[in-house]
């Protein structure tokens, strides 16, 4: 089973499997964050047919050497495309996206010096797969992955063991694991969701032992149309009303600000840089798939499903009118990587 479109694991596999042995889930019921337009367009493209709003699209076509036949339909919150063929290309595409998303983690990990026998916390650990890599590479004795999302932590269970464990917690309240200090505080692609870095950084620094390391990676792409258009759409009616005036910005300061902050907090050794990751996406519409799993969740979580679908549809229209139609599409993505060692 492949999950197209929403970029999140399907939570309704059981339902989906009622329809066919081979199911491509285009929405998967995962909070209905894919609009019907998106789903229908993907389904119709896959099946080579015309999408009909809230209806069933059926057809067949040659696809990657396989004959696919099936239909796209929305059933309650679940939208499925059933096929009799195989879906070989999506996992490859997913793997390529996954590798691109993981590269900054590995670049950050390169900055961390091993701490044999040490204690580490991975703030906003997500599914935990990278927490286990962090633990192995640093030779730590104990690594705790902390996340506030139950859904993420459910997936992390399989990476626990051998000194790795996971616990639920909120970074905004994190003041250490216990009274003994940590050797490494690691946060990859998580603290951009946490406001007020002027108070967060002193708090994180205070959880480290003398000689402890802080390693953080954050997206810093607020000036790209993918982010700027979302802010503009959020300010316009009726989306502004649906959002109660909320306009999302990641909590991120300049690289220079972090360098000064680290120095003031007693990180005598430090490394702070902005790195541009140039993603080659199949087309401009894939930028939307990219931000749906990250930036746009900040909007989705604040809106009713129908309001978010309207927001997403208008965002898509506005963004695609600003982006060139080159294929592959070059999507430069800036990130701040920082590392420091406390005196």
Ligand X SMILES: C[S@@+](CC[C@H](N)C(=O)[O-])C[C@H]1O[C@@H](n2cnc3c(N)ncnc32)[C@H](O)[C@@H]1O
Q: Could you list the residues that contact ligand X (CB under 6 A)?
A: 105, 124-126, 130, 147-149, 152, 170-172, 188-190, 193-194
Shortest distance in whole angstroms from residue 170 CB to ligand X: 4
Judged on CB neighbours under 10 Å (0-12, 13-18, 19+), 193 is: middle
Shortest distance in whole angstroms from residue 105 CB to ligand X: 5
Q: Indicate the residue among 193 and 277 with the shorter CB distance to ligand X.
A: 193
Q: Indicate the residue among 172 and 318 with the shorter CB distance to ligand X.
A: 172
Q: What is the Cα 209 distance to its own chain's centre?
A: 30
Shortest distance in whole angstroms from residue 69 CB to ligand X: 37
Q: Indicate the residue among 46 and 338 with the shorter CB distance to ligand X.
A: 338
Shortest distance in whole angstroms from residue 98 CB to ligand X: 10
Q: Indicate the residue among 73 and 205 with the shorter CB distance to ligand X.
A: 205
Q: Indicate the residue among 28 and 124 with the shorter CB distance to ligand X.
A: 124
Answer yes or no: are the C-beta atoms of 212 and 185 closer than 8 Å: yes
Answer yes or no: are the C-beta atoms of 16 and 1 closer than 8 Å: yes
Shortest distance in whole angstroms from residue 180 CB to ligand X: 21
């Amino acid at each position: 089973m492949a999950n197209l479109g929403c970029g999140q694991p399907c939570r309704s596999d059981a339902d989906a499997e009622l329809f066919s042995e081979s199911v491509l889930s285009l929405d998967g019921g995962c909070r209905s964050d894919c609009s019907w337009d998106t789903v229908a367009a993907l389904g119709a493209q896959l099946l080579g047919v015309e999408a009909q709003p809230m209806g069933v699209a059926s057809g067949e076509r040659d696809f990657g050497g396989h004959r696919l036949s099936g239909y796209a339909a929305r059933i309650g919150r679940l939208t499925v495309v059933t096929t009799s063929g195989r879906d070989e290309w999506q996992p490859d595409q997913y793997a390529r996206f996954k590798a691109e998303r993981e590269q900054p983690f590995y670049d950050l990990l390169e900055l961390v010096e091993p701490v044999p026998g040490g204690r580490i916390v991975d703030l906003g650990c997500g599914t935990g797969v990278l927490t286990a890599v962090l633990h192995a590479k640093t030779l730590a004795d104990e690594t705790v992955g902390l996340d506030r999302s139950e859904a993420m932590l459910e997936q992390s269970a399989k990476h626990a063991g051998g000194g790795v464990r996971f616990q639920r917690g909120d970074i905004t309240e994190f003041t250490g694991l216990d009274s003994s200090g940590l050797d490494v505080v690691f946060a990859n692609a998580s603290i951009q969701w946490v406001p007020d870095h002027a108070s967060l950084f002193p708090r994180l620094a205070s959880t480290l032992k003398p000689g402890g390391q802080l390693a953080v990676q954050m997206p810093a792409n607020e000036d790209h149309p993918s982010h700027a258009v979302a802010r503009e759409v959020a300010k316009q009616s009726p989306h502004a009303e649906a959002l109660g005036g909320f306009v999302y910005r990641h909590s991120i300061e300049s690289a220079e600000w972090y360098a000064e902050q680290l120095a003031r907090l007693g990180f005598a050794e430090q490394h702070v840089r902005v790195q541009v990751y140039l993603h080659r996406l199949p087309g401009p519409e894939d930028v939307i798939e990219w931000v749906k799993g990250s930036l746009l969740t900040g909007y989705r979580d604040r809106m009713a499903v129908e309001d978010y679908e309207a927001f997403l549809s208008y965002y898509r229209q506005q963004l695609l009118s600003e982006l060139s139609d080159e294929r592959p599409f070059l999507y430069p993505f800036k990130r701040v990587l920082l590392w420091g060692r406390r005196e």
